[in-house]
């Protein structure tokens, strides 16, 4: 069973995505409740369980904000919508330090952007003003719900109302 289930905090804030099997375990342990049904069934040796599409935890989970989330290539690409932040290209994507590491830049959310290989090579180890290349958006830590988009290839219709709420 590889189906994914959206997990909401007790406050209906999107937290993450888990497997349908994990969601059923959380429901059986009464650590969560089903919010949206999928219409699918999971069959064990002795019982049949409805598979949820969305579950809500029965308790509140504190979500770390900002810099406490680890920087990863996948997360940077997702944050920047898989577009070069210099030219807008969607091909040959790499990661660029806005202030190059050779010039004292760090690997932090506010210093890393998605860049296509040609832009990254053209910028080299120059500062944005020296290269005349400025990112289209200011780099920042992604919102916590952005990591949900990393876990799945498609957002289900039943999830959208909870994700739209998080964006608003």
pLDDT in tens, 14-44: 888 999 999 999 999 999 999 999 889 888 8
User: Was domain 69-131 assigned CATH 1.20.1640.10?
Assistant: no
| Domain boundaries defined on the chain | 4-63+144-167, 69-131
Q: d(Cα 84, Cα 81) in Å, to the nearest integer?
A: 9
The model's pTM: 0.62
The answer for residues whose C-beta is within 8 angstroms of residue 96's C-beta and 6 or more apart is: 85, 86, 112, 113, 114, 115, 119, 120, 123
Rounded to 5 degrees, φ, ψ at 113 are -135, 165
pLDDT digits (tens, 9 = 90+) for 75-97: 898 888 889 999 999 999 999 99
Are 35 and 56 spatial neighbours (Cβ–Cβ below 8 Å)? yes
Tokens 């920047």 belong to residue? 80
CA Rg, the chain, in Å? Answer: 20
């Amino acid at each position: 069973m590889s189906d994914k289930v959206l997990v909401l905090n007790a406050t209906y804030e999107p937290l993450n995505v888990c497997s349908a099997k994990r969601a059923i375990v959380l429901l059986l342990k009464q650590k969560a409740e089903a919010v949206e049904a999928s219409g699918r069934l999971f069959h064990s040796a002795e019982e049949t369980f409805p598979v949820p599409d969305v579950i809500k935890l029965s308790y509140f989970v504190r979500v770390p904000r900002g810099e406490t989330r680890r920087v990863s290539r996948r997360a940077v690409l997702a944050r920047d919508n898989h577009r070069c932040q210099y030219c807008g290209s969607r091909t040959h994507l790499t990661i660029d330090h806005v202030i190059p590491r050779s010039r004292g830049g760090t690997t932090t959310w506010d210093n890393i952007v998605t860049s296509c290989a040609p832009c990254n090579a053209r910028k080299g180890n120059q500062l944005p003003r020296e290269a005349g290349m400025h990112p289209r958006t200011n780099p920042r830590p992604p919102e916590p719900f952005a990591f949900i988009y990393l876990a799945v290839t498609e957002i289900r219709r039943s999830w959208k109302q909870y994700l739209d709420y998080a964006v608003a």
